[in-house]
């Protein structure tokens, strides 16, 4: 092939998902679902029985690559997301993390900020298995389907580290007011560790990155700016300073109207919207960023005609601009697989 052929390669040979993130409006939006890999699939539950525990599963490249690819075999999704968890970073920084069956995550005592700051470099090394998973998936995935790497956003990860479990986050939110320096210091360590972790994922083959800020709700505007928007902007800048131009999606779930300030300040190329986001707010955001979302996972689980109507409505209200079809939060474990396939077909025609 002549060099000029590669130089002049038309933009439309890019995966559809990456074209949308480059702010293109397409004949149909790309589609993937948050938490598409996992417990809604019987083959995942089968694979899961082979792992000692969930954390070891995430650190086993062979099994994690298989879990990443399982939904890609079943559904015509335009992107895969590496199988891992947002709580791997606290573990790599020296805090004990485990999952209580049927309950969720548990974390041991919060180590001192100093000890975690000392382990930032080592933390990326301890997460090298995730890079290996990414390499395997990228090698197995068709070129027209993109691979997404991810991390938890600092505030959301900090809430689990502070509370020791999933919770109402009252302790963590109180810390934002009562011990702001301590929270800011914890977030600074997480920003640093996250930049390195995501850079490693890009080096391994991740073509886009998502920051999961699952707990952006219930924060006053100034606090939101301090612990959500600014740390996201610091992560984006940290990656750009390393010469990494990979597109980044921020998902500040529950941000409400603050999502507009977020989109203006975080420096991300894509913004994930949650189930409450209005059609109008999404359309305003599309002028500057690509939006992603926002089908209600409960409606996906419920199915029926209401589901079809909502899919059509989302395509109608946002499909005229840069848009990635997704849920407003993750797939619920007992969602019927036929409903997922039905929505994927309705969006892609396949
Ligand atoms: O999206 C994907 O399919 C990729 C893999 C992925 C997982 N977790 C696998 C997982 C991703 C992107 C995550 C992100 C994650 N993890 C978030 C942010 C998104 C969100 O849902 O808000 C959060 C808050 C976590 C932390 C976490 N991990 C919790 C609270 C739990 C237990 C409850 C639950 O939702 O399952 C997990 C466990 C977990 N993470 C499982 C999977 C497949 C289930 C583990 C099992 O198989 O037993």
Each residue's pLDDT tens digit, 134-192: 999 999 999 999 999 999 999 999 999 999 999 999 999 999 999 999 999 999 999 99
Q: How high does pLDDT run on average in the chain?
A: 96
Domain residue ranges in the chain = 3-348
Each residue's pLDDT tens digit, 91-115: 999 999 999 988 999 999 999 999 9
| pLDDT confidence band for 4 (50 / 70 / 90) | very low
* Architecture of the domain whose range is 3-348: Alpha-Beta Barrel (3.20)
What does the pLDDT average to over 289-316? Answer: 98
What does the pLDDT average to over 342-350? Answer: 98
Kindly give the distance from the C-alpha atom of residue 303 to the centroid of ligand 1, in angstroms, as a whole number: 23
| Pocket-forming residues, ligand 1, beta carbon under 6 Å | 34-39, 48, 54, 81, 83-87, 104-105, 150, 166, 212, 214, 330
Which pLDDT score is estimated for 13?
Answer: 80
Which pLDDT score is estimated for 337?
Answer: 98
Residue 10 predicted with pLDDT over 70? no
Catalytic: which of 28, 39, 74, 310? 39
Q: Is the pTM of this model over 0.85?
A: yes
44 is catalytic: no
Which pLDDT score is estimated for 215?
Answer: 98
Which pLDDT score is estimated for 11?
Answer: 53
97, HSE (Cβ side, Cα atoms, 13 Å): 24
Each residue's pLDDT tens digit, 11-27: 568 999 999 999 999 99
What does the pLDDT average to over 209-235? Answer: 98
- From 46, 326, 330, the mutation candidate for ligand 1 (largest count of ligand atoms within 8 A of CB) is 330
Of all protein residues, the one whose alpha carbon is nearest to atom 25 of ligand 1 is 86
């Amino acid at each position: 092939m002549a060099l000029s052929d590669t130089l002049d390669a038309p933009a439309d040979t890019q995966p559809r998902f990456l074209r949308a993130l480059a702010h293109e409006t397409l004949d149909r939006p790309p589609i993937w679902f948050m938490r598409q890999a996992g417990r809604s699939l019987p083959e995942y539950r089968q694979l899961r029985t082979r792992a000692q525990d969930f954390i070891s599963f995430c650190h086993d490249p062979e099994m994690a690559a298989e879990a990443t690819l399982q939904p890609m075999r079943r559904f015509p999704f335009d992107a895969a997301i590496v199988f891992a968890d947002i709580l791997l970073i606290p573990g790599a920084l020296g805090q004990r993390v485990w999952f209580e069956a049927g309950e969720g995550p548990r974390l041991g005592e919060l180590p001192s900020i100093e000890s975690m700051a000392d382990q930032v470099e080592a933390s990326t090394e301890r997460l090298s298995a995730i890079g290996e998973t990414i390499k395997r998936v990228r090698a197995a995935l068709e070129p027209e389907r993109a691979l997404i790497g991810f991390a938890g956003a600092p505030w959301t990860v900090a809430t689990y580290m502070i509370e020791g479990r999933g919770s109402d986050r009252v302790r963590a939110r109180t810390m934002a007011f009562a011990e702001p320096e301590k929270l800011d210091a914890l977030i600074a360590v997480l920003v640093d560790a996250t930049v390195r972790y995501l850079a490693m994922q890009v080096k391994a083959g991740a073509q886009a990155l998502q920051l999961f800020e699952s707990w952006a709700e219930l924060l006053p505007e100034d606090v939101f700016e301090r612990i959500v928007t600014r740390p996201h902007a610091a992560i984006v800048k940290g990656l750009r300073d390393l010469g990494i131009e990979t597109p980044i999606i921020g998902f500040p779930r529950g941000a409400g109207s603050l999502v507009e300030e977020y989109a203006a300040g975080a420096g991300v190329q894509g913004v994930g919207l949650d189930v409450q986001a209005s059609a109008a707010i999404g359309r305003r955001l599309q002028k500057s960023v690509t939006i992603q979302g926002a089908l209600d996972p409960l409606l996906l689980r419920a199915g029926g005609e209401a589901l079809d109507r909502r899919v059509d409505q989302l395509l109608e209200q946002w499909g005229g601009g840069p848009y990635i079809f997704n849920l407003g939060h993750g797939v619920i474990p007992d969602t019927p697989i036929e409903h997922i396939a039905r929505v994927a077909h309705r969006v892609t025609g396949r």
